[in-house]
Amino acid sequence: MSNSNQAELLKICKEITEELRKYPGAQLFNEPVNPELQSVPGYLKKVKNPQDLGSILERLNRGEYTDIKVWERDINTVWQNAELYNGKDSFVSVIAHHMSDHFKVLKRRLDMKKISGWMKYLYLSREKLDRLLLSPPSGVGPIFPIHRAVSSMDYAPFSSRELDCLIEASRIFYKPDDLLQITKILMTENLVPNGSDDLEINVDEISPKALHMLREFFKKRFHQMNQEYPV
């Protein structure tokens, strides 16, 4: 992974941590536990790896995280510690479970960013192959004639820049309603099985038509949010 891509991922980690700290209920997890002031005797004996969102954010600001998995592990440890000390059915554990679910939602944008470089590589490889097939070397055409099917509406392939903008725009869509609409678009070409909970797609099968439909949806949502689509 390049240094620039790693820096982008860590930036998203920081954004997610900051959003978690502002979420209702986060006050219980924003600062280190002080056993004396908070009347939690034996906390440090029972909890061997104390974690809190404030300390994690400070580490991000100091550049101490070099592995995204370590950051994710520390975040999850916050919720695990709450249940470990207070018990599974305690009020604190219920809030911790709610925070954990919210973290999973926020983390989707990080997961999407992690695969975006791979997605771009596959798409560009397909783009090059399409150009080779449509413009074969001289002498090959008569032997292997190329017949290109033309639909009633021909969608132009995305350029590299257009694909970059689409990937950048997709980063902000992680809410269930938006993901549902994206899934519906992909289902129109049987890219996503009905009833699937996991959005696992063979990127090589994404057609220009699906990409155009995704861009149209993204632009509509950007307009609704009074934001500019990436250019």
Domain stop point among 76, 92, 113? 113
What is the domain-level CATH number for residue 52? 1.20.920.10
The verdict on residue 230 lying in a domain is no
As a three-state string, the secondary structure of 188-199 is CCCCCCCCCCCC
The verdict on residue 209 lying in a domain is yes
- 94 and 179 assigned to the same domain: no
The verdict on residue 143 lying in a domain is no
What global pTM score does this model have? 0.54
Cα distances (Å, whole numbers) of residue 12 to 7, 57, 113, 165, 188: 9, 12, 9, 18, 31
In total, how many domains does the chain have?
A: 2
Residue 174's domain spans which residues? Answer: 160-225
- 7 and 99 assigned to the same domain: yes
- 174 and 103 assigned to the same domain: no
Lowest mean per-residue pLDDT among 20-29, 70-79, 90-99, 199-208:
199-208
Domain stop point among 113, 145, 180? 113
pLDDT at 223 (0 to 100)? 92
The average pLDDT across 167-183 equals: 81
The verdict on residue 98 lying in a domain is yes
| Angle made by CA atoms 119, 68, 192, in degrees to the nearest 5 | 35
